[in-house]
Amino acid sequence: MITRIFGLSIIVTVISLVVAYLYGGMTALLLCAILGILEVSLSFDNAVINATVLERMSEFWQRIFLTVGILIAVFGMRLVFPLAIVWVTAGLNPIEAFDLALNPPPNDAPYFDNDPSRPSYETLLTDAHPQIAAFGGMFLALLFLNFIFEEREITWLSWLEKPLAKAGKLDMLSVVVAGTGLVLVAEFLAADDDRSTVLVAGLLGMIVYILVDGLGSMFHTEEFEEGPQGGPSTLVKATGKAAFFLFLYLEVLDASFSFDGVIGAFAITSDPIIIALGLGLIGAMFVRSITVYLVRQGTLGDYVYLEHGAHWAIGALAAILLVSIGVHVNEVITGLVGVAFIGAAFISSLLRNRKGEPDAIEDSKEPASV
């Protein structure tokens, strides 16, 4: 099964490395491999969250996510998105932006011929970091807050999660906390020239999350049957409009997770072709394969704290994105924090299973269809 799940990712990796070598020699090959590893390390928590949503989708929509979704992830977020930022911020047309990306100034200087009127592609993208971080940070913050403010049978960090769940009975508390955090970040971390931009971008991130999550919940409620406890049954897979909005939710979520990887990639190389090959083809393909593996193996049902660990990793990533508006945070730290939460949740799940505690979601488990 592992060969079947990861086989395509391995083939794509080999092809990508060969293309990178033909494109730029051994240096390009090594950079491509490093970016692939970077993306997987930064996005493992993304794979866990993807799996929790993907389990609720019909087989057809699961395949849509794993085919059309991968095209959006590779070409949309890892290639077109950085170029689009340059189009908007620099007032360049797409061809000029792509030419600027392929022809950086010598010695990776921030400007051409020391002319501030001609910034490099990397400089333009880095200058757009505050609004990117504000949008992605607020989207992920709401995802995290809505999770920890919700009461649930199984808790991981019970000493903290249970009091937070009780506090979550206050309506819209997650929006209040997220909005307060955005104001504090704009006031104390953002540069004077960036405050309004950070506020607008952060509000847009909140609006997008509320809209997509709300639409998904609305159709989810209409199309899912009730389970034994009165909640939606996981035995009924989302189809039609419900699955479509879950698909949109996954794509926006993937985009939010991609921000730190795309920005971090420029610490390694500014070549868009290498970034697309490393982050997009290698990294994104392996993240999709990990997602499929988690769904098919029923890993989230066997290791019940993984979802909790992933959401805490999301909360940490959201905080890092917001802090990075005013303070540089090394990408290695970002990756290690996510891995630490997932690893701790996995070990806690193993210990729980050894104690023979009942699996609270045993009744909802079924063979996955991805």
What range does the domain containing 27 cover? 2-364
Whether residue 333 is contained in a domain is answered as: yes
Residue partners of 122: CB distance under 8 A and separation at least 6: 104, 108, 110, 266, 270
Whether residue 76 is contained in a domain is answered as: yes
pLDDT of the residue at 363: 41
pLDDT of the residue at 109: 56
Whether residue 49 is contained in a domain is answered as: yes
Whether residue 307 is contained in a domain is answered as: yes
pLDDT of the residue at 358: 53
pLDDT of the residue at 56: 78
Whether residue 370 is contained in a domain is answered as: no
Q: What is the block-wise mean pLDDT of the chain (370 residues), using blocks of 10 residues? A: 81 92 90 83 77 81 78 72 70 74 64 60 77 87 91 89 91 92 93 91 90 68 42 51 78 71 67 81 83 81 86 88 86 76 90 71 45
Q: Per the structure, how many domains does the chain have?
A: 1
The one-letter amino acid at 366? E
Instruction: Single out the residue of 294, 306, 297 nearest to residue 54, CA to CA.
Output: 294
Whether residue 369 is contained in a domain is answered as: no
pLDDT of the residue at 156: 92
DSSP state of 104: P
Whether residue 102 is contained in a domain is answered as: yes
pLDDT of the residue at 356: 74
Residue partners of 268: CB distance under 8 A and separation at least 6: 31, 34, 35, 38
- Token look-up 């990508």 returns 16
